Amino acid sequence: MPDPSPETEPAHDPEVLQLAAKVFDLARHGDTDTLAAYVDAGVPANLTNDRGDTLLMLAAYHGHPSAVEALLARGADPDRANDRGQTPLAGAVFKSEDEVIRLLVEHGADPAAGTPSAVETAGMFGRQDLLELFAKE
């Protein structure tokens, strides 16, 4: 049986691409219930876009704690870095999303992971409170 051509693989199907774009928008906008339903129906919790951003990265960066919690509960990797080496925790620190930071740390996110790490980012912004939180981990 011949290998399918790249054009017929699911990743090149316009309907699959449209669904992926919709799911990334759900994470970006914090539509927790719909996002969770898609993941429950089979969308990978660690789905990445063309920049390596996961659903969790987008939800964390855009400050949606309920979406972050839902994704973590469904197996999203809190330390999965994007193509630039950034982690969801460092993104949340950059955006000063304190509730998201707390959730990620509670779910085992490594403050030293990524480039720059959450520790380095907290240091750049003078967030002593976060440096103390990360030191406890």
Q: In the prediction, which pLDDT does 17 show?
A: 84
User: Is residue 1 scored above 50 in pLDDT?
Assistant: no
Residue carrying structure tokens 């003078």: 126
- What 8-state DSSP symbol labels residue 48? B
Q: What is the pTM of this model?
A: 0.89
Four-residue CA torsion sign, 72, 59, 87, 22 = positive
> Per residue in 97-114, pLDDT tens?
999 999 999 999 999 999
User: Is residue 26 scored above 80 in pLDDT?
Assistant: yes
Domains of the chain and CATH, by start? 10-136 (1.25.40.20)
> Per residue in 38-93, pLDDT tens?
999 999 999 999 999 999 999 999 999 999 999 999 999 999 999 999 999 999 99
How many CB atoms sit inside 10 A of residue 79's CB? Answer: 17
**β-bridge partners, 54:** 48
